[in-house]
A and B are shown apart, each in its own frame.
Chain A
Amino acid sequence: MDLARREVAAPDAADAPEVPDVADLVRGPAGPEPDATAVAPRSRVGWVRLALMAVPAAFFAVFFGYPVVAIVGRGLREGGQWQLGRIGQVLSDPDILQVVWFTLWQAAASTALTLALALPGAYVFARFDFPGKRMLRAVVTVPFVLPTVVVGSAFLALAGRGGVLDEWFGVRLDTSVWAILLAHVFFNYAVVVRTVGGLWSQLDPRQEEAARVLGAGRLTAWRRVTLPALAPSVAAAALIVFLFTFTSFGVIQVLGGPRYATLEVEIYRQTATLLDLPTAAVLTLVQFAAVAALLAVHAWSLRKRESALSLVPAEHTARRPAGAGQWVLLCSVLGVILVLTVVPLLVLVQRAFGGPDGYGLTFFRALAAQSDSATFVVAPVEAVGNSLAYAAVATVIALVVGGSAAAALTLPDTRRRPGGGAFGLAQLVRGFDALLMLPLGTSAVTVGFGFLVALDEPPLDLRSTWILVPLAQALVGVPFVIRTMLPVLRAVDVRLREAAAVLGASPLRAWREVDFPLVRRALVVAAGFAFTVSLGEFGATVFIARPDAPTLPVAVARMLGRAGESYYGQAMALSTILMLVCAGVLLALERVRIDRQGEL
């Protein structure tokens, strides 16, 4: 099983019973399964599931549901009366409608453009072997985990005034909507490459070959054989890209100019600048409705497109490109990656090292020196330390919450127990799954301000404590953990455990010897994702009044907001450090990923 299918990015794999899961793939077409109740009494399974669901449910209720409801309620209630008239009022404002329209079409256009540019990339990563592939896969993922402030400035360095494109071709995009669309591609390229490419690399090429032998043309074979098999993962990737671009904030702020605003930007304006909570509340509800509808459509479309796939280990399908056509394809994909990802990142690094007197460590030294005297400048070591510490705590929380959610979602329902209740249960489970995705589609300022108004009474007065930062980060990390853990947990064959029991192993020993080794690597990968995502989380973290221990992204944003070359260079220097830390974690993940592939 390829790791990429287990990412964020692969809600299809999560939507289980219909999706062919790894266990099915290993065993072949699913026969009647042993009734789970044979292992554990039905009631006990129920209780365990309840206990498992209680953890994530409590976490989301307290740290997501309650704060969001509190801030929205504050906006819509006045003097104890619900002001539902506000909804119609806000929604009939032409300016707001324009924002909604722009949000929708730019998300659709960004998604289409990302798919168009990244699908060839997915193919190349899936089917071709070339030197530096692993490294490159980590590199294209770096923008995805970088905070949007840094992505925005990296992208300006590429497509902005005096950027690389300007110098080479005289092309400038900084004031057009194209800048936004391309930045979204830059951001989400990896989502498509990893989600679709992951599956593509495991599709058995012999199927397509068989179709061709039977007389189908190249295109027909691809359309009739490969495309249907890929469709669910393409849909999943499209969903994630749409979700991310629909709620885009930082990119629009940096590149959009005052003309373009998404709902997210408008919510920020209404909340943080104007304190018009009623309008912000209505917009939050609109965003919620849109995201919920999106998740629903996705779940529905998945069910319609199920097909059993014949998968093979990825290393059997990739080969060196042969023939001019394949080389041209490989080179053009590498070209796109070079221009869209590598160059902006390199420009960032170049600006970090390019001091007023030539290249050197001027800005890094300045960071270290100034931090001794002033509270404003954060020593890089300290910012890295803060970031790592927060991300570590956030990872633990995300793993515990996401892990138990994933475990609850895999408990037998699921094992298609005949009889009543199972259908309702499956629905419940799927709803729960979608619910846990909601934070990805919620405005950061809503969550940040929600924390402020909701968590203000003992024993939950967390407003001025450090724990709020990792909690906010964990909200974003949990969906990633679930996406990573689910397919693997589902793949653990019950019969292995039964066999261990028959051979005399205690349940604990069976868990240790059977489950744990299978789940361990997925756990490591999930931890890695939660960690990098927490490292880059910027949104909610900024809107929480934090004790003075800024994380890297926050420190970068602070520096960017000051005049003077020195601060700008230091911001770039800090961004470079952040990039290196992210890239390091991602490369380590690539190693785990490679190990895995030989196994399943």
Chain B
Amino acid sequence: MKKHARRAAAATTAVLTLALLATACGGSGGSGDAKTVTLVTHDSFAVSKPVLKDFEKRSGYKVKVLRGGDAGAAVNQAVLNKGNPQGDVFFGVDNTLLSRPLDKGVFAPYKAKGLDKVPQRLQADPDKHRVTPVDTGDVCVNYDRKWFADKKLDPPRTLDDLTKPRYKNLLVTEDAAGSSPGLAFLLASVAEFGEDGWQGYWKKLRANGVEVASSWEQAYNDRFTGSREGKGKGDKPLVVSYASSPPAEVMGVENPPEKAPTGVAKGTCFRQTEYAGLLSGAENTKGGKALLDFLLSKRFQEDLPLQMFVNPVREDARLPKLFSKYGETVDDPATVAPKKIAEHREQWIKTWTSLAVK
């Protein structure tokens, strides 16, 4: 027993030493050597391998990607590690969360190459350039084309439409407290009806039978009649999802249909813009800047849609065929200033919860 014990002790020491050694060799706190640049991001980040390889070859940097949970968790991790960041660049903070890291000084200024190709209205920090817009995505009500055709009913087009009796009990949305499209839909109503008017809208929506699911996965995959994974077993022909969901439904299908099986109610959209920024205190500032330039490069921007199902911010980036054929462009999406969101978010969510859930 004692021998055994001593052996165990020795082995533990060995393992722990190894762990520390591995750490030391692996380079700590981001990019130990100047040849590696570290991107800190959320779980949904994606890029084509050839596109990334191309950047690595041209710049001479090896890209290391660290993912830290969903968008909210990843942003909060970056905020907690302010000044001593895990990497060099953070990607994936959207306008609903932007104020927090900006106020806390998480990002250092850098004006990325190619910013002149990005519409001015998307630039959240036009003076200091602490964050760079990378992509936009619209959260909109999606409808099941077949369901509405069968019922000979016109799908809704605006937020107001959703409160009409003919759309009673048809809509499922997500929990604004825990789901990013759920919050976006709440913000769409704030943008449309104003800070004092949105509560009344939700009362009407509630009376019209809006249902709240805990997550997008559940709302879209299980409740929505139009998603193919639901196999037609869902019960709600209207769901709060993304403007890019219709093309996603068609992606990878062997005999693609003429039209996507789902459509988008264009008057219900809220625009989310995702930003990236150089982390202040980054070890490899030079590499980080090169990486930011890459995120805004035409190559990466054109790769975005099929990888992350979002739209590029560069005006000269061409959309892939899947998007131009099945996607819909939303001309006038709602949006709310990040500062305003930061000030009111918690109160809005609390009020919303009491109106829509309880």
Contacts and interface: CB of A to CB of B under 8 A. Distances in A.
A590 to B, nearest CB: 26
Contacts of B27: 464
A547 to B, nearest CB: 6
Nearest to A565: B228
Contacts of B223: 161
B50 interface: yes
B337 interface: no
A459 interface: yes
B52 A375 contact: yes
Contact of A55 (B9, B64, B69, B227): B9
A326 interface: no
Contacts of B87: 464
A457 B3 CA distance: 36
Given A162-B231, A407-B1, A492-B1, A560 B74 contact: no
B144 interface: no
A556 B24 CA distance: 31
B222 A161 contact: yes
B65 A563 contact: no
A550 B86 CA distance: 18
Given A51-B9, A174-B222, A258-B178, A564 B28 contact: no
B47 interface: yes
A275 B2 contact: no
A561 B5 contact: no
B6 A274 contact: no
Give the interface size bracket for B toward A. 35 or more
A566 B12 contact: no
Interface stretch (A7-15, A249-257, A574-582): A249-257
Interface in B141-167: none
Interface string B14-57: 01100110111011111000000010100111111110100000
A411 interface: yes
B79 to A, nearest CB: 6
B4 A516 contact: yes
A298 B172 CA distance: 44
B207 interface: no
A592 B9 CA distance: 26
Contact of B29 (A445, A461, A558, A563): A461
A345 interface: no
A48 B40 CA distance: 44
Contact of B23 (A273, A467, A569): A467
A407 B4 CA distance: 8
A557 interface: yes
A467 B20 CA distance: 9
Contacts of B248: 562-564
A564 B66 contact: no
B326 to A, nearest CB: 12
A55 B12 contact: yes
A465 interface: yes
A546 B46 contact: no
A507 B2 contact: yes
Contacts of B50: 373
Contact of A568 (B73, B84, B229): B229
Contacts of A411: 1, 5
A48 to B, nearest CB: 5
A258 B242 CA distance: 20
Given A375-B48, A403-B8, A561-B44, A258 B229 contact: no
Contacts of A515: 1, 4
A273 B216 contact: no
Contacts of A465: 22-23, 26, 28
Contacts of B38: 464
Contact of A458 (B29, B229, B307, B353): B29
B309 interface: yes
A464 B29 contact: yes
Nearest to A407: B5
B208 interface: no
A508 B346 contact: no
9 contacts: A258-B213, A258-B353, A407-B4, A463-B29, A464-B64, A464-B87, A545-B67, A563-B245, A563-B248
Given A59-B16, A566-B252, 11 more contacts: A44-B2, A162-B234, A401-B12, A445-B73, A459-B20, A463-B86, A544-B68, A545-B40, A562-B44, A563-B249, A563-B309
